[in-house]
């Protein structure tokens, strides 16, 4: 018999297709695993325009099939995924990879906008930790990243803004 913990463990090895240093569990999109007559995995997609979502569903299905399980994958769209759901471990992995993790509470569902208006929106440099940073371009190497630059160490870096 398969346990829920085993399923979570396998899912923790499914990399995010765009940023393979974090898993789909780190990303916070796997909301629920239930093991009964069949294994059901409930996934909340990131934002609806993200091309990675269908790839993620496919990867989850493939990972469990490799374990001899044919999962039922359910999609739950409410409440919507926000970058706040990225786990602490996922944030550490992003930083280690040179990508600034999303600032807490700055998901695109509103609070970020408020902070931007207040002028307090700062992203810490993943290399030196300085908050003397600036946005270079809203669009980075993928639609989910913005290009930023650190004024302290002069290094460019990516900011993970959505998915």
Q: Where along the sequence are the contacts to Zn ion (CB under 5 A)? A: 125, 127-128, 130, 150, 152-153
Q: Could you give the CA distance from residue 67 to residue 39 in angstroms, rounded to a whole number?
A: 12
Q: Which is nearer to Zn ion, 56 or 100 (CB)?
A: 100
Q: How far is the CB of 148 from Zn ion (least distance, A)?
A: 10
In 116-160, where do the E strands start and end? 133-137, 145-150, 156-160
Q: Which is nearer to Zn ion, 22 or 150 (CB)?
A: 150
Q: Which is nearer to Zn ion, 29 or 124 (CB)?
A: 124
Residue 133 backbone phi and psi in degrees, to 5: -130, 160
Q: How far is the CB of 122 from Zn ion (least distance, A)?
A: 12
Which whole-number Å values give the CA distances from 72 to 3, 13, 24, in the listed order? 15, 18, 16
Q: How far is the CB of 156 from Zn ion (least distance, A)?
A: 10
Q: Which is nearer to Zn ion, 61 or 155 (CB)?
A: 155
Could you write out the DSSP letters of every residue in 6-37?
HHHHHHTTSB-SSSTTSBTTTTT-EEEEEESS
Q: Which is nearer to Zn ion, 87 or 130 (CB)?
A: 130
Radius of gyration of the chain (CA): 17
Q: How far is the CB of 28 from Zn ion (least distance, A)?
A: 26
Number of H helices, E strands in the chain: 4, 7
Q: How far is the CB of 62 from Zn ion (least distance, A)?
A: 38
């Amino acid at each position: 018999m398969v346990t829920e913990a085993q399923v979570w463990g396998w899912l923790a090895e499914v990399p995010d297709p765009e940023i393979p240093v974090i898993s789909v569990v780190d990303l916070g999109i796997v909301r629920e695993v239930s093991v009964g007559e069949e294994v059901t995995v409930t996934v909340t997609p990131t934002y609806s325009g993200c091309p990675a979502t269908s790839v993620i569903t496919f990867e989850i299905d493939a990972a469990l099939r490799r374990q001899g399980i044919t999962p039922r994958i359910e999609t739950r769209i409410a409440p919507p995924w926000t970058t706040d759901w990225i786990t602490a471990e996922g944030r550490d992995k992003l930083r280690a990879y040179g990508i600034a993790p999303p600032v807490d509470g700055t998901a695109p569902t509103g609070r970020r906008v408020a902070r931007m208006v207040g002028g307090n929106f700062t992203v810490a440099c993943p290399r030196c930790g300085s908050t003397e940073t600036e946005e270079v371009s809203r669009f980075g190497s993928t639609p989910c990243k913005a290009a930023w630059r650190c004024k302290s160490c002069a290094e460019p870096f990516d900011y993970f803004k959505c998915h």
